[in-house]
Amino acid sequence: MPVCGTCFRHCVIEEGKTGFCGGRICRGGRIVCANYGAISSAALDPIEKKPLRRFRPGSMILSVGSYGCNLDCPFCQNHEISRVPCPDPPRDTVTPEQLASAAERYKKEGNIGLAFTYNEPLIGYEFVRDAAKLVRERGMVNVLVTNGCFELSVLEETAPYIDAMNIDIKGFTDDFYSGLLAGRLETVKAFIARAVQLCHVELTELIIPGENDSEEEMRELSSWIAGLRDAKGRPAGERVPLHVSRFFPRRRMTDRRATSVKTVYRLAEVAREKLKYVYTGNC
Which alpha helices (DSSP H) does the chain contain, by range?
A: 79-82, 96-105, 125-137, 152-158, 174-175, 185-195, 215-226, 261-271
CATH 3.20.20.70 fits 36-281, yes or no: yes
Q: For the chain, give every domain's residue range.
A: 36-281
At position 266, the amino acid (one-letter code) is R
Q: Alpha-carbon distance 64 to 114, whole Å?
A: 8
CA distances from 187 to 2, 173, 264 (A): 22, 12, 26
pLDDT (tens digit, 9 = 90+) per residue, 151-197?
999 999 999 999 999 999 999 999 999 887 778 999 999 999 999 99
The Cβ of residue 136 has, within 10 Å, a number of other Cβ atoms equal to 18
- pLDDT classification of 87: cutoffs 50, 70, 90: confident
Q: Please check the confidence at residue 89 and state whether its pLDDT lies above 80.
A: no
Please compute the mean of the pLDDT values over residues 105-132 and round it to a whole number: 97
Phi, psi of 243 (to 5 degrees): -100, 120
Angle (CA) 135-141-143 rounded to 5° is 105
Q: Alpha-carbon distance 211 to 75, whole Å?
A: 12
pTM for this entry: 0.96
Q: Alpha-carbon distance 155 to 197, whole Å?
A: 11
pLDDT (tens digit, 9 = 90+) per residue, 18-36?
999 999 999 999 999 999 9
* Whole-number average pLDDT of the chain: 95
Do residues 157 and 125 make contact, with C-beta atoms less than 8 angstroms apart?
Answer: yes
Do residues 218 and 169 make contact, with C-beta atoms less than 8 angstroms apart?
Answer: no
**3-state secondary structure at position 25:** strand
